[in-house]
Amino acid sequence: MSMRHTIILTSLFFFLSFTASAQQSITPDLHKAAKHDKIKVYNRALTLVNEEGYQGIRLSKDYGEGVAWMKGITFSTGTLEFDVRGENLKQHSFVGMAFHGQNDSTYDAVYLRPFHFYAADQISQDRMIQFISLPVFTWRKLRAESPGQFEHRIVPPPDPNAWVHVRIEVTASTITTFINGSSTPSLVVYPIAPLTAGKVGFYVADTSGGDFANLKITPTK
């Protein structure tokens, strides 16, 4: 078999692993995805993370939102699971998952604020996890118009400098997020924008970078 045919077959196999049926979980190899141009990065630079148990990617710090979109995957309802690591740096660590992406500025997202995990004051404690729906429903708008409804505390709070496991369950009526295997959700919100199916990607907010690994996408059967 020629080198050209080998490359074509490898690429085809990798693409098919991304387009699993709605009854199967999708678990992309993030290192292969990055090397085979299966991740579209917006407003960040991407490098690889290679730690025991965490073969993932790192998004650089920069101004504005950044997203690493997974090419070839469309998600509507189901479950999104991943590991993420931010840092205990006040107002400079916002890490999570974007979904229902229409473009680089229109999507839903759930993200963590690790610098609030060990906060002493109640106001900061109540802002550990946040839902947004851009471009209209920013965290500022939601906090001003619906205080306490789209952000919440995490019990128990994770280590702000450690890997955190996130599971987001998306239905037509609710978006529910669980942290580190807890059976009690840390955040339950309702969809607030007419976004249904769209892209999925790792999300970082203004001035933030972040590490991501172990992505698992399970569409609704």
DSSP 219: E
- Name the domain count of the chain: 1
Can you give the CATH number for the domain in which 59 is found?
2.60.120.560
Read off φ and ψ for residue 216, nearest 5 degrees: -140, 125
pLDDT at 23: 59
Alpha helices in 19-128 (DSSP H): 30-35, 122-125
Mean pLDDT of 172-192: 97
Task: State yes or no: pLDDT of 210 exceeds 90.
Answer: yes
pLDDT at 7: 39
Whole-prediction pTM value? Answer: 0.89
pLDDT at 141: 98
Q: Which two tokens stand for residue 207?
A: 């001035």
DSSP 114: G
* String of DSSP letters for 37-58: T-EEEESS-EEEEEETTEEEEE
Mean pLDDT of 44-66: 98
DSSP 60: P
What is the rounded CA–CA span in Å between residue 203 and residue 98? 6
Place of tokens 């839902």: 131
- pLDDT tens across 125-149, in order? 999 999 999 999 999 999 999 999 9
- pLDDT tens across 90-124, in order? 999 999 999 999 999 999 999 999 999 999 999 99
Residue span of the structural domain in which 157 resides: 3-219
Residue 221: pLDDT band (50, 70, 90) is low
